[in-house]
Amino acid sequence: MKSTGVRRGGTSAEVGCALSRPVPWRWKDAFRRPVGIRRDGRRVVRPGSATGECDRRAHGDRGAADAYDGVRSHPERRMRLSKSRFTAGLQCARLLWWRVHEPDAPELAPDETRQAVFDQGHRVGAAARARFPGGVLIDLPHDAFEQRVTATRAAMDGGAPAIFEASFVADDTFVAVDALERRPGGWRLVEVKSSTRVKTQHLQDVAVQVHVVRGSGVPVESAEVMHVNRACTYPDLSDLFARVPVLPEVERILPGVPGRLRAQLAMLGGDLPTVAIGLHCEEPYPCPFQGRCWPEWPADHVRRLYFVGKRSWELAANGYTSIDRLPDGMTLHPAAERQRRALRLGRRIVEPTLAVALERLVGPLAVIDFETVSPAIPVWDGCHPYDPVPAQFSCHAQEADGAWTHHHWLANDTADPRPELIRRLADACRGARTILAYYAPFEAGVLAQAALAFPKLHDPVQSILDRIVDAHPLVRDHVYDPGFNGSFSLKAVLPVLVPGLGYDDLPIAEGQAASRHIERMLFGDPPPHGAERRALRDALRRYCERDTLGVVRLVETLRTLAAGAAGPV
């Protein structure tokens, strides 16, 4: 059985509700399983249970809310909703329909990136539970709904100060509350998020829970979103979470919840609904079914307009689907304006300004690139949640004779990588007069943050910052090729401007994957060992090296293009 991991460990992964998958209903199995609750890590098991072990893996690690199904395998059962289904349905009826009627759709299987987000959410959830002393976890199979509800009642009656995964059913809807906290006048419902602020969609999420919990006869006197607090600074994790009261906002939403639930249930009883594509395909979460609903965007479609963002939907809705037909008076980013000209001309544009821009690159050059890790729960001094910390660098440094030497370093244990990385990077860049990085503000930002955490690193960091130049605007502000497809990322421009030098031949071919693998190598449980670890380190080295080699070759190409640029087009 495949895993969704949406609510593993009792925490809502930030993108979870768009990706979760229900499991087939196993009514009898559910009643065979033991009822167990865990208090402070100790298991409490109902008599008759052999071990009380929760069998989450057997259920694909799915959250209870997402396992609340049975529609396909038991069509005679009533159609039922869950918290995550409800919020999915608010985003798009078609998305909800597919989630319910095609639970095994390949689009719903989490890829490694999504799984990493879920895993991070689970770690945040575990840390959040530690903030509720004496809390009891409803630690039961995710599809043992009735048992979960019964165990929740038992925990409430037993005086538990807080209940994790507190489970309720009302209005044909199941919810498992991250934390239900006992209060003098009733209960406080707490929704844990791994985001760093309260978002609009969180309110709907809380609203359906309050509706179901109150509908179960439980007085909810307050509700909070408990999110990660960016102000928290390692090693003091006492303020890792911020708790934001949201009940007043939720009360305004609540009157509409029953009608929405009824509408979703009615929709699910019919055929696949027709829904026009639009901004809702991307917000609040990227829909996993874009591949089914979206066409293959032509090269000149406004979806591919540089820097257009959400505006592309507005343009398309107003009949502007082709970039080259956008009216001349329409204000565009200068690079998008060049993109439009290039599409109209049907060829690459190289501005004569490129030559002047390249004059900034006084040799010898060095080209640097970092790969970072960004733990939600910081682990190194001075770090805040999600701070990017460099754990790997690649540097191509030019010698006096113009030849290039490659330098590389990759962390290999859980020690703070910044002192060693910066020492080695400073050495590698010692002879360079200009240090290039593609998206240099990122490299500069993580270096500056490292210098704040380690004052002794100030001088080598400042020396690098004094020489750093961003390579990205060299392309974005002076060159457009229709092959860029509206992107100036290195992955987009390199194969076009330096044919034969792409990323397709690499086992790790993009930055998110690199970060994920580094995190697994450093903090995995267990981390990779032996041949696997060596292969992983080699793959990471090759990926990071390709980024800096790519910029080396890119600059050579830009110089050639600048020499050939006759004048403005």
Interface positions with ligand SF4 (CB under 6 A): 92, 94-95, 275, 277, 280-281, 287, 289-290, 293
CB of 357 to ligand SF4, least distance (A): 40
The pair of three-digit structure tokens given for residue 225, joined into one six-digit string? 């979103």
Q: Output the smallest distance, CB 120 to ligand SF4, in A.
A: 24
Q: What is the chain's length?
A: 569
List 39's β-bridge partners, or say none.
42, 136
* Minimum CB–partner distance for residue 268 and ligand SF4 (Å): 14
Instruction: Report the half-sphere exposure of 72 (CA within 13 A, side-chain side).
Output: 14
Q: Which residues contact 274 (CB under 8 A, 6 or more apart)?
A: 94
CB of 88 to ligand SF4, least distance (A): 9
Angle between helices 458-467 and 440-453 (to 10 degrees): 160
> Minimum distance between the CB of residue 496 and ligand SF4, rounded to whole angstroms?
29
- What residue spans of 296-399 are helical by DSSP H? 311-317, 334-345, 353-358
For every residue of 98-150, DSSP letters joined together read: HHHH-TT-GGGS--HHHHHHHHHHHHHHHHHHTTSTT-EEE-S-TT-HHHHHH
- Closest contact distance (angstroms) between CB of 93 and ligand SF4 is 7
d(Cα 186, Cα 180) in Å, to the nearest integer?
10
| Shorter beta-carbon distance to ligand SF4: residue 217 or 270 | 270
328: phi > 0 → left, psi -120 to 50 → alpha, else beta; which? alpha
Is residue 100 within 8 Å of residue 66, measured between CB atoms? no
CB closer to ligand SF4, 18 vs 212: 18
3-state secondary structure 389-447: EEEEEEEEEECCCCCEEEEEEECCCCCCCHHHHHHHHHHHCCCCCEEEECCHHHHHHHH
Rounded CA Rg of the chain: 27
Residue type, 343: L
Shorter beta-carbon distance to ligand SF4: residue 187 or 289: 289
> Closest by alpha carbon to 9, among 57, 45, 49?
57
DSSP bridge partners of 535: none
Nearer to ligand SF4, 95 or 464 (CB): 95
Cα distance between residue 12 and residue 251, in whole Å: 21
The answer to whether 143 and 176 have CB atoms below 8 angstroms apart is no
Between 93 and 391, whose beta carbon lies closer to ligand SF4?
Answer: 93
Nearer to ligand SF4, 241 or 285 (CB): 285
Min dist. Cβ of residue 254 to ligand SF4 (A): 25
CB 38 within 8 A of CB 139: yes
Is 242 or 277 the residue whose CB approaches ligand SF4 more closely? Answer: 277
Judged by CB, which is closer to ligand SF4: 81, or 96?
96
CB of 521 to ligand SF4, least distance (A): 35
Complex with ligand SF4: residue 86 or 168, whichever CB lies closer = 86
Among residues 94 and 418, whose Cβ is nearest to ligand SF4?
Answer: 94
Smallest gap from Cβ 99 to ligand SF4, in A, equals: 9
Our CB check for ligand SF4 shows the closer of 58 and 275 to be: 275
Shortest distance, position 3 Cβ to ligand SF4, whole Å: 22
Give me the least distance between CB of 531 and ligand SF4, in Å please.
41
Shortest separation between residue 110's beta carbon and ligand SF4, angstroms:
16
Tell me if 61 sits within 8 A of 3, measured CB to CB: yes
**449 half-sphere exposure, CB direction, 13 A CA radius:** 20
Q: 286-308 burial by CB neighbour count: b if 16+ within 10 A, else e?
A: ebbbeeebeeeeeebbbbbbbeb
Measuring CA to CA, which residue among 405, 416, 411 is closest to residue 371? 411
Task: Name which of 95 and 354 has its Cβ closer to ligand SF4.
Answer: 95
> Residue 259 or residue 295: which is nearer to ligand SF4 going by CB?
295
Give one DSSP letter per residue of 532-562, joined into a string: HHHHHHHHHHHHHHHHHHHHHHHHHHHHHHH
Nearer to ligand SF4, 107 or 249 (CB): 107
**Closest separation between CB of residue 96 and ligand SF4, Å?**
9
What distance in Å separates the CA atoms of residue 21 and residue 91, rounded to the nearest whole number? Answer: 16
Shortest reach from residue 281's CB to ligand SF4, in Å: 3
In degrees and rounded to multiples of 5, residue 477 shows phi and psi of -90, 0
* The two structure tokens encoding residue 166: 């507190």
Counting DSSP H helices and E strands in the chain, the numbers are: 19, 16
Token pair recorded at residue 4: 């969704």
Residue in the structure block whose two tokens are 């199995």:
29
